[in-house]
Structure 1
Amino acid sequence: MHVFATLGAFLSHLADALVPLFGASATGVAIILLTLGVRLALHPLARSAARGERARTALAPEVQKLRKRHKNDPERLMRATSELYAEAGVSPWGGILPLLAQLPVFFVMYHLFSTGSSGEGHALLGAPLTGRWADALGHGGVTGPHGLVYLGLFALVAAVATWTYTRARKAAAAAPLPAADGTDPAAAMMAKAAKVAPLLSFGTLVTVAVVPLAAALYVVTSTTWTAVERAVLHRPRTPEGAGGAIPAT
């Protein structure tokens, strides 16, 4: 609760400072700026996760050999795979850390604006930060003043999700996962997750529709940051001697 109170107080002070520039939309802008600040602070974790992802991809052939070697001994396979990752300095859970670190901020947005008490009177372009899409539909419909704010968010989320989906499909085609042979449940689960993961970005549309607008702003801003960040961190490397190498991230 202390973390929630601290973040809530910081958001309030930031919004007060932005009132001369943005008026009634100051809190909405403060949420966007706070989100960008949080994601910037978490960028080192994202860089580390990207390095780990590239390392796991490079180790995929070795992991496939271990699966064939220990296909009848799941416990030995798990131990050998863990040792391989440990020797390479790779954590299989590194990619989860940036997501977990963001959860307190999202909960702050949801908690402060879900009841309507703390966020009463704050809006973004007229749409209350405590309201949801269903409330906007009751005040002018889809194309009403409040509804247009949500249409803008939906359009941005759809564009980012489509871009993310396209990039994920191209990456999967360029570096497919080793085929699961049925002897390794973890491999089968990973193969299924790889097929479903590109579609999960479209689930943000549902989140934006059902949470308070304040939390939706955080989700949309963070999702957009993630898409751009991944594009930068996973950009193709220029080979040595062919115009210079891009520094490793």
Structure 2
Amino acid sequence: MDFYSWPPIAALLDGAYGLVTALSDAVEPIAGTAAGLVAVVVLTLLVRVVLIPVGVSQVRAEYHRRRIAPRLAELQRRHAGDRETLAQKTMELYREEQVSPFAGMLPLLAQIPVVTLLYAVFTHPTIAGHANALLGEHAFGAPLGTSFVGLTGASAGVWPAMLVYLGVLALIAIVTTVSRRVLTLPQPEGSTAPTGMLRALSFLPYVTVVFAAFVPLAAAVYILTSTTWTVAERWTLRRLLDPARRTGGSARPTTSH
């Protein structure tokens, strides 16, 4: 059974289809043949505006985790041989300081349903029993419903679609590189995370480029727009919410109890 044919999911998919179609029709007088692509960009911006409060909580959580880093390091030293006690004490510290260890995942988790819906909208020939007109949408000669991997297997009509997709993937890689350089915070005093591990983890965002190569162009454009928004939003919020900037000096770390 097709997951997307289940009535509640089919209704949700049809609603997403209607929204993208309405946005495309609205911008067509200005965007012309790229109306579908512009509609995806507008949809992305609408989603990210709704998620601004989540971004604020994420940045605040970053500073809270840095503030309690020395106490976490002390717990790790004190209970290094007892993983169960360490886990218990760590969660107690998070609860005491009202810090969520999962706050950084919220924006990503909140957007997974949107990317999933976009993937389905631009890959299913029929939606809720009617033909999917969005599959005929193109942007600069590239079909919005085709992936980069799909293009590599095509025998004809690859260009200029391949150039468009390569451009989108290159832009995602560039934005990801900028995010690594601009958004990576220095390790707080007392941090015990291995430098090699942190360096390896810093390359994880590039997995997004690989993922974008397997999804339809519309979903890849969503990823590009959302990633760009993340860099701008995080850079702005960190300066607005930085405790050191608000107090006019360096925020003092919390001492161990």
When normalised by structure 2's length, the TM-score is 0.79
Residue of structure 1 equivalent to 2:76: 67
Query: Aligned residues: percent identity?
Result: 38
2:245 to 217, 238, 243: 238
Amino acid at match of 2:93: L
- Given the alignment of the two structures, is residue 205 of structure 1 paired with residue 209 of structure 2, yes or no? yes
> Structure 1 residues 234 and 17, CA, compared in 2 at 3 Å: closer, same or farther?
same
State the shift of 1:192 in Å: 7.0
Q: Indicate conservation of the 8 Å contact 2:147/2:214, yes or no.
A: yes
State the shift of 1:128 in Å: 0.6
Residue of structure 1 equivalent to 2:116: 107
1:157-179 deviations in whole A, cap 9, x for unaligned? 1211211222355x24x537722
State the shift of 1:207 in Å: 2.0
Residues in 2 aligned to 1:232 and 1:32: alpha-carbon distance in whole angstroms: 21
Describe how 1:156-167 pairs up with structure 2 within 5 A. 156-167=171-182
Q: Higher relative CO (CA 8 A, sep ≥ 6), structure 1 or 2?
A: 2
- Given the alignment of the two structures, is residue 52 of structure 1 paired with residue 61 of structure 2, yes or no? yes
- Given the alignment of the two structures, is residue 125 of structure 1 paired with residue 125 of structure 2, yes or no? no
1:116-161 deviations in whole A, cap 9, x for unaligned? 55232101122111112245454565xx321221232123112112
Q: Indicate conservation of the 8 Å contact 1:168/1:198, yes or no.
A: no
Residue of structure 2 equivalent to 1:84: 93
Structure 2 residue matching 1:50: 3-state secondary structure: helix
State the shift of 1:31 in Å: 0.6
Structure 1 unaligned residues grouped into runs of 5+: 181-187, 243-249
**C-alpha RMSD of the superposition:** 2.4
Q: How many residues align?
A: 229
Deviates further, 144-153 or 220-229? 144-153
Describe how 1:134-153 pairs up with structure 2 within 5 A. 134-137=149-152, 138=154, 139=156, 144-153=159-168
Residues in 2 aligned to 1:66 and 1:206: alpha-carbon distance in whole angstroms: 38
1:8-60 deviations in whole A, cap 9, x for unaligned? 21111111112222222211110110011101101101110110111011101
When normalised by structure 1's length, the TM-score is 0.82
Deviates further, 131-140 or 225-234? 131-140
1:20 to 29, 35, 41: 29
Residues in 1 aligned to 2:190 and 2:12: alpha-carbon distance in whole angstroms: 40
Residues in 2 aligned to 1:102 and 1:77: alpha-carbon distance in whole angstroms: 32
Residues in 1 aligned to 2:73 and 2:207: alpha-carbon distance in whole angstroms: 32
> Structure 1 residues 177 and 196, CA, compared in 2 at 3 Å: closer, same or farther?
farther
1:171-205 deviations in whole A, cap 9, x for unaligned? 24x5377225xxxxxxx8xx776333321222222
State the shift of 1:220 in Å: 1.1
Residues in 1 aligned to 2:248 and 2:68: alpha-carbon distance in whole angstroms: 25
Residue of structure 1 equivalent to 2:45: 36
> Structure 1 residues 239 and 93, CA, compared in 2 at 3 Å: closer, same or farther?
closer
